[in-house]
Amino acid sequence: MGKPTGFIEYLRELPLDRTAVERIRDWNEFHLHLEEKKLREQGARCMDCGIPFCHSGTLISGMASGCPINNLIPEWNDLVYRGLWKDALDRLHKTNNFPEFTGRVCPAPCEGSCVLGINKPPVTIKNIECSIADKGWDEGWITAEPPKIRTGKKVAIIGSGPAGLCAAAQLNKAGHTVTVFERADRVGGLLMYGIPNMKLDKKAVVQRRIDQMTAEGITFLTSTEVGKNYPAEKLLNEFDAVVLCTGATKGRDLPIEGRDLKGIHFAMDFLKANTKALLDNHKNGDFISAAGKDVIVIGGGDTGTDCVGTSMRHGCKSLVQLEILPKPPMSRAKDNPWPEWPKVYKMDYGQEEAAAVFGNDPRVYLTTAKKFVSDECGQVKEVHTVEIQWEKNDKGQFVPKEIAGTEKIRPAQLVLLAMGFLGPEQPLLEHLGVERDPRSNVKADFNKYSTNVPNIFAAGDCRRGQSLVVWAFNEGRGVARECDRFLMGATDLP
């Protein structure tokens, strides 16, 4: 695929991002774009590697290796190299309903397992994917395609995040009448309120797809929470099948001394309120501001990075990000071979921005919070931290042990908890009588997605636990296939 000698002739090249100092002044996407000639050269770097691992979508050491939705990556890389952009878009849409989303927010496990990446920088798969989708919109190739025939079957989807949107798109394509229930005031779930605007523009990118899906006949009911202002019994009576895609929205807490102080918030409460205020043009001003504050973000993942980037745009006074894990190596360790996801050090956009303003990477590794301390008004003013080391306990499990003498007092008027998620919220599941697994997720086997209730299915983070957007796409497409099979006795959905 691509040019036979392309990987020798061309170096890996990505578009420049807007400078950190410039982009923290607004909420616009920070990605820039490569010219078409450069993109075709990057497509040419895709090797005819015999066994392309990039679209394998397997789990190795608990992490994705290759694309979980099995994108036909070598094929559309070759088509881009040859300038056949519309054909590339058609190939991309065969496996991915929303490539402009993954092209922006996916961490690209495909690139981590690229064969070229064994000894050279991998192909710029993520950027090429995003460029194909954006060109499709720019050229008017992506339009509403409502099904020609309706089956008469009605499906309810609870949750309009990535899994719910994929399930809705596929089930609508099969001809079923699909209604998506969303408790928030806007459609999109994590894509709308969980990912900041500078990574994924809501009006120009997310809402554009929602409008297309509406034109294709999908009904979206916002500000509608099943089990509260919409009876669960009505749902079961009016629909032939129900698909749960509620996500894993129960944040991991940090129950240490002072946790109940003012100024300590879950990351998603911080991010959601900020995006809502932005989309509402700050009419109510009801959001958590980091302006002028010493901010401490606890947690080193993508959500933590988004908290860093958002705090920088508010104009925080200082910023520290606590990470309980050790600092990753600069290159693959011996126990992290290709095609595993490379666990290596990198500066994401938020850390780049903090470093540009404050002079260094804000992350402090192998460090945890011991207690929060308040001022005279019950507002957090300090976080007491300690360094840790990982040791095996009597069961052979690695656990953190505090290192005496490493305690430190850090100023903070805003603390954001970004330590991951524990599973879905339980009231709706209890109301529907759906069984859960030991981790409190909906009990439904992968590739089957059926629950103990005959016409109720589950997919995405509420079934598998906190995961990547691209895994939610995988499950949304999978649950649509199995739901269609349940309704019709057979299915043609991929």
pLDDT at 367: 98
Beta bridge partners of 400: 390
Rounded to two decimals, the pTM is 0.94
* CA angle (422, 472, 459) in 5-degree steps: 75
pLDDT at 122: 96
For 400, residues 6+ apart whose C-beta sits below 8 A from its C-beta are: 324, 368, 388, 389, 390
CATH of 253-419, one of 3.50.50.60, 3.40.50.300, 3.60.90.10, 3.20.20.70: 3.50.50.60
**What residue segments make up the domains of the chain, in order of their start?**
6-138, 154-249+422-488, 253-419
Does the N-terminal peptide bond of residue 339 adopt cis geometry, omega within 30 degrees of 0? Answer: yes
Task: Give the separation between CA 90 and CA 423, rounded to whole angstroms.
Answer: 35
For residue 96, how far is the Cα from the chain centroid? 15
Q: Indicate if 253-419 has the same CATH topology as 154-249+422-488.
A: yes
Task: Give the separation between CA 449 and CA 432, rounded to whole angstroms.
Answer: 16
pLDDT at 311: 98
pLDDT at 195: 97
pLDDT at 283: 63
User: What is the SS3 assignment for 109?
Assistant: helix
46, 77 contact by CB (below 8 A):
yes
> Which one-letter DSSP state was computed for residue 463?
H
pLDDT at 336: 94
Tens-level pLDDT at each residue, the chain (494 residues): 678 899 999 999 999 999 999 999 999 999 999 999 999 999 999 998 888 999 888 888 888 899 999 999 999 999 999 999 999 999 999 999 999 999 999 999 999 999 999 999 999 999 999 999 999 999 999 999 999 999 999 999 999 999 999 999 999 999 999 999 999 999 999 999 999 999 999 999 999 999 999 999 999 999 999 999 999 999 999 999 999 999 999 999 999 999 999 999 999 999 999 999 999 987 666 899 999 999 999 999 999 999 999 999 999 999 999 999 999 999 999 999 999 999 999 999 999 999 999 999 999 999 999 999 999 999 999 999 999 999 999 888 999 999 999 999 999 999 999 999 999 999 999 999 999 999 999 999 999 999 999 999 999 999 999 999 999 999 999 999 999 999 999 999 99
Task: Give the separation between CA 68 and CA 316, rounded to whole angstroms.
Answer: 37
User: Over the stretch 376-401, which tens digit does the pLDDT of each residue have?
Assistant: 999 999 999 999 999 999 888 999 99
Beta bridge partners of 230: 226
- Tokens matching residue 333: 């360790």
- Exposure of 387 by Cβ count < 10 A (0-12 exposed, 13-18 middle, 19+ buried)? middle
- Tokens matching residue 373: 């301390």
Task: Give the separation between CA 256 and CA 234, rounded to whole angstroms.
Answer: 42
- Tokens matching residue 162: 């990535």
- Residue 399 phi/psi, 5-degree rounding, is -135, 150
May I ask the CATH class of domain 6-138?
mainly alpha
Name the helix (H) or strand (E) containing 94.
helix 85-95
Tell me how far CA of residue 103 lies from CA of 39, 108, 132, 151, 467, in angstroms. 14, 8, 9, 33, 17
Could you say which architecture CATH assigns to the domain 154-249+422-488? 3-Layer(bba) Sandwich (3.50)
- Residue 27 phi/psi, 5-degree rounding, is -115, 15
Task: Give the separation between CA 94 and CA 395, rounded to whole angstroms.
Answer: 47
- Residue 59 phi/psi, 5-degree rounding, is -100, 125
Tell me how far CA of residue 195 lies from CA of 60, 155, 185, 192, 206, in angstroms. 26, 27, 16, 7, 11
Q: Which of 2, 25, 11, 110 is nearest to 65 (CA)?
A: 110
pLDDT at 57: 87
pLDDT at 284: 62
> Which one-letter DSSP state was computed for residue 120?
S
